[in-house]
Chain A
Amino acid sequence: MSATDTPANLPAPDATSRRGPWGEVLHSLLRSGTFLTGLGIVLFWVICALFGEHFVPYDPLADDIINALAPPSAEHWFGTDQIGRDVFSRVIVGSRDILTVAPLATLLATVAGTALGLLIGYFRGIVDDIVSRVLEAFMAIPVVIIALLAIVALGTSKITVIVVIGLSFAPIIARTVRSAVLAERELDYVAAAKLRHEGALHTMFVEILPNVIPPILVETTVRLGYAIFAVATLSFMGFGIQPPSPDWGLSISSNYGMIGGGFWWTVLFDALAIASLVIGVNLVADGVHGAFND
C-alpha cells in the first residue's frame, strides 16, 4: 500500500463479501433443509407434470368399465375410479394443469401487485388512500364470488382461472410491496434521485424496485401455495379446470360421492397430492423467507 492519501487498494475482500448478496442468499438456501425438502417435493411434481405421461402404467383417460372401482392392488397401485381409470396414472398426470394455472396466476398477481404497490408506496397521499381502500374492499370479497362473476362474464377456461386468482391475489402482493417501498423511499438515494430530476418511473423501477425484490420473492412463493389451493378449490367447485382433465380437484369433485361406499382410494390420493404440493411450496417459501431474513 502506498504511503500517500490514495486508498487505491480495496481492502482484502473477506469471506462475506466475495459472494454477492444473491450468492449469499443462494448459499444459505442450499444449506436450508426446509428449502431443499420443499424443493424436492415441488420438483417431483414438476417432473410428473412434464414427463408423467411417458412413464405412467396406463393412459389416465382410458376407461375400463370392467375394472371400475377396483381397490389398490399390484396391478392398479392406487385402484381405479368409477369408470375404471387408473388412479395412480391420473394422480401423476393430474399435476399438469394445476402446475400451469397456479404459477401463471401467481405471476400475474406478482406483476400487477408489484406495479400497483410501487405506485401507491411511492406517491402515497391521495393516490395511496384511494387505491388502498379499493384494494381492501376487493380483498374482502371471497375468491369464489369473484370467480362466479368472472365465469358468468368470461365463461370457464384456464385463462379465466388465471385471471381470477391473479387479480384476487394482486392486492395482497401490492400491500407487501407498498410497505417495503414506504421504507425504501425514505432512504437518501431516493432523495439523491430527486436531486437529479429523475422521473417517477425511473425512481420507482430502476432505483427502488431492485431493492424490494426480496420481500416480493418471499410473498410470491407464499402466494403460490395459496394459488395451488385456490385452483384446486375452484376445480372442485366446477369453476376451474374442466373435464376430461385428470386434475386433482376435479377428480375429487367427481368421486367424493363414492367415499360413503367405501371407495376411499378414488379421493384420498388426489387429496394427498394437493396437500403434498401445497406443503412443498410452503416449505420452499419458508426457506426463501429464512434466507432473506437471516
Chain B
Amino acid sequence: MTDKNALELNDLSVAYRVGGRNRAVLRNVSLKIGRGEAYGLVGESGCGKSTVALSVVRYLPRNGSITGGSIALDGQDIMKLDAEALRRARAESVSMVYQDPGKALNPSLRIGRQLTEIFELGGVSGQAASDKAIAMLNRVRISDPVSVMQRYPHQLSGGMQQRVAIAMALANDPSMLILDEPTTGLDATVEAEVLDLIAQLRRELSASILFISHNLAVVSNMCDRVGVLYAGMLVEEGSTKDVFNDPRHPYTVALLRCLPRGGQRKDQGRLDTIPGFLPGIGANITGCAFADRCALATERCRSEPPPLYDLGEGRLSRCHYHDKAQSLPRATPAEIPAAAPKQAPPVLQVEGLNKTYASHGRPLRAVKDVSVSLRPGETLGLVGESGSGKTTFARLLLGLVSPDEGGSIELEGRELAPRLANRTEDQVKAVQIVFQNPDSALNRSHSIRHILSRALKRLGGLTGRTLDTRLEELVRSVRLTDRHLAVKPRQLSGGLKQRVAIARAFAGDPRIVVCDEPTSALDVSVQAAILNLLADLQSKQDVSYIFISHDLGVVRYLSDKIAVLYLGRIMEFGPSEAVFSGPHHPYTEALLSAVPKLDRMESSRIRLDGEIPSAANPPTGCVFHTRCPRKIGAICETQEPELIEAEPGHTIRCHIPFEELARLQKPKALEPA
C-alpha cells in the first residue's frame, strides 16, 4: 500500500428513512483499498453491500443519507464536494459496473454513440472520440469493434453487453472501479470469460477494484483482500486466502459451510445451515449482531458489542471469541436418514423426445432426440448453458408444452399423454414442479393456507377435516408452522416462500418433482436449508427429482445421474460421479472448468469462445464443434456423433474415443474438482 489509499471509508454510517424513521443500514464501516488492489465485499442480501457502493459515488436513493463517518477517494473527501466537483469525480476518478448490463445501457442508442459520448464529455470530439471508443472495445476483447459500435444493446448477448459496460466504466481510466455483482445472472461460461477479462484488465490498468458479490467463490478468485459484511457491519477482514481458509468469525465459518464443496453429495451428509434470520434493517442491536444465530454466543456476546479485534497480519474480526470461531458447532446435524438404494424399475422412461418450435418460418429444435430413464428416489441433474433446452425438456415432462410426434414418456410403465389436459388425475399429481422464482410461482393474492389447501384439494382429493390434518402435516414436513398459514406470500422471506412452493408440489404425493433452479434466487445459507429439505423429502418419500441448476456444485450435491445438454441434445449422460470426475465430454469439461471454485487456485482453464449458437440454425456435424476446445478435424463439422456408451450407463456424444478423452483429460481427472 502506498501513501494515499484509492478508497478509504471511515466509520461510515448510512440510514434509510422508512416509515418516518431513520433505519441504520451501514454501521460504522471502515475499510481501506490500496492502489491497484482488488477488495471483495461479501455478504448475504440485505447486509448493505450495494449501499457501500452507492455511498462511494453518492448515489444513495432519496430516502438514504450518510449519517456519520467519511469517504475519501484518492485522499479527497467526497462528502465535502460540491455538485460540480462531485460530477467531475464521478466522470474522472470512479466508475461503476452494475449487475444487469441490459439496464445499464440505453436501449435506444447505438453502442458507438454511448461510448463516444463519454469521450466527448472529456473534450475529445468526432473521429478522435470514435477511435478511442474502438480502442476501448478492443481492450475489453471485443473482436469486431467497428460493427459492435453500430449495434443496439439488445443485439448483443449478455456477456457482450457486460463487456461494453466495463469498457464504458474504464473509458476515463478511473482510479477506482466498483463492480456490483458484475457476473450475477450470466451463464457460468460467460461469467468465466468476464472474470478473466477483469483479471486481465487489472494487470493492464492501475485501477483499484471494489468487487461486490454474494458469490464467495468468485470473490476468492478475483480479490486480494476481502471484507465480510453482516447487518451493515464489517465482521471480518483479511487477505482472501486467510479469510476463506482460516475464517475467524462464526458468520464466515457458517457461510462457508453452507456451500456444497469438494464434490459433496447428499448421501455423504447434510449441508450446514445458519439458523434464524438477518436482523431487519434499522434493528436495534445490543451486543453482537450475529449472537442470535451463533451457537458459540455467550451472555457477553448478547450484552457487549464486540470491537473489531486486530488479529495481526491485516486480519480483523468482530468476535469476542475469534480464536474459537472455527469450533462453531453445526446447526444442522450432518447425519442422514439411511435410504437403502434399491433396484426398482424406472419411474420415468423418456424415449426419443423432440420439440420443434417455429421461429420466423424456420424450425427451431429446442429438444432433439432426448432419452433418459430415472428410478424412484433418484435425482437427474440437467446442466447446460441457457438456451440448451433444459427448461423446455422439463416443460415437456410436465405436459405444459407438447412434444413432436414420435417420442414417448412413460411414467411407471404407463404412457403419459403429451398434453396435460389428456393426462389422468393420478398422472397429473404424480409430476409436479418447484419453480425458480417463488414470487411468480405463488399467487400473491392468496394466503399460504389458500394456496396449500387448494393443492391438497385438487391433487390430494381431500376435503374437510382430513384436509386440515394433512395440511398441518404438509406444513410441518417443509418446516413451516401454522403461523405461516395466515399470511400472504409477500410477508415471507425468499427461503420461506420456496418452502411453500415445495409443500405445494408435494401435496399430492408426487412421483417426480421437477426442480427448476429452485435455489438460484436465494442466499447461500437459505440455499443450504432448501437443499437439505429436498434431500430429506426424497429419502423419506422415495420421490424422484429432475434438478435443473446452473450451479454445478449444487447439482452435484443432489444428483444421482447427470444429463449435459447443448442445443437441445444430450451430449453426455451418466451417473453423477462418472460425469463429474471424468473422463467427460469436452463440453462438460469446459462447463466444469468455468465454475469459480473456492478450494483451489485456478490451474488449467478451458474457455469457450462466444455464445451458444442459435437453435434455429445449429452448426452442422457435431453442434458443439464451433466452440469445442478439443475439435479433431473435418469429421466434427460434417458428421454428428452418436451417443456412445463409454462405460456401463455413461454415454458421450463425441467423435473422440473414450480412451483418448481419458488420456487428454488425465491431469484434470486426477484433480479434486
Contact = CB atoms under 8 A, between A and B. Distances in A.
Nearest to A15: B19
28 contacts: A2-B275, A3-B295, A4-B331, A5-B275, A5-B331, A5-B529, A6-B275, A6-B479, A7-B275, A9-B276, A10-B487, A10-B492, A15-B19, A17-B490, A21-B444, A187-B441, A191-B398, A192-B433, A192-B441, A195-B398, A195-B431, A196-B428, A196-B455, A196-B458, A197-B420, A197-B425, A197-B428, A211-B444
Interface of B: 18-19, 21, 273, 275-278, 280-281, 283, 292-293, 295, 331-332, 398, 400, 420-421, 425, 428, 431-433, 435, 437, 440-446, 454-455, 458-459, 479-481, 483-484, 487-488, 490-493, 495-496, 504, 529, 532
Contact of A4 (B275, B280, B484): B275
Contacts of B492: 10
6 closest Cβ contacts across the A-B interface? A15-B19, A210-B445, A1-B276, A188-B441, A196-B458, A188-B435
Contacts, number: 107
Contacts of B420: 194-195, 197
A7 B445 contact: no
B491 A10 contact: yes
A190 to B, nearest CB: 9
Interface residues of A, number: 32
A252 B195 CA distance: 74
A196 B278 CA distance: 35
Contact of B440 (A17, A188, A198): A188
B331 A3 contact: yes
Contacts of B454: 196
Contacts of B490: 17, 21
Nearest to B441: A188
A197 B398 CA distance: 12
Best-surrounded residue of B293, B445, B454, B496 (most CB of chain A within 10 A): B445
A1 B293 contact: yes
A197 B491 contact: no
Contacts of A16: 18-19
B19 A189 contact: no
A188 to B, nearest CB: 4
Contacts of B400: 191, 194-195
Given A3-B295, A210-B445, A11 B440 contact: no
Contacts of B293: 1
A85 to B, nearest CB: 51
A294 to B, nearest CB: 13
A169 to B, nearest CB: 26
Contacts of A21: 444, 488, 490
Contacts of A17: 490-491
Contacts of B484: 10
B428 A189 contact: no
Interface in A103-145: none
Best-surrounded residue of A10, A12, A16, A17 (most CB of chain B within 10 A): A10
Contacts of A20: 488
Interface in A14-72: 14-17, 20-21
A210 B444 CA distance: 9
A20 to B, nearest CB: 7
Given A3-B331, A188-B441, A189-B441, 18 more contacts: A1-B275, A1-B276, A3-B275, A3-B295, A7-B479, A7-B496, A10-B496, A11-B278, A12-B280, A15-B19, A16-B18, A17-B491, A187-B441, A192-B433, A196-B459, A197-B421, A210-B446, A211-B443
By secondary structure, the A interface counts as: loop
A142 B217 CA distance: 65
Contacts of B428: 195-197
Contacts of A261: none
Nearest to B479: A6
A232 to B, nearest CB: 37
A262 interface: no
A206 to B, nearest CB: 8
A197 B331 contact: no
A192 B435 contact: yes
Nearest to A191: B400
Contacts of B441: 187-189, 192
Contact of B443 (A5, A194, A195, A207): A207
Nearest to A27: B19
A173 B611 CA distance: 43
Nearest to B510: A195
Contacts of B425: 197
A13 interface: yes
A44 to B, nearest CB: 31
Contacts of A198: 458
A7 B442 contact: no
Contacts of A189: 440-443
A188 B331 CA distance: 33
Nearest to A197: B428
A197 B275 contact: no
Contacts of A211: 443-445
Contact of A13 (B21, B332, B458, B491): B491
A10 to B, nearest CB: 7
Best-surrounded residue of A7, A14, A195 (most CB of chain B within 10 A): A195
A111 to B, nearest CB: 19
Contacts of A195: 398, 400, 420, 428, 431-433
Nearest to B425: A197
A8 interface: yes
A4 B522 CA distance: 19
B458 A192 contact: no
Contacts of A6: 275, 479
A187 B440 contact: yes
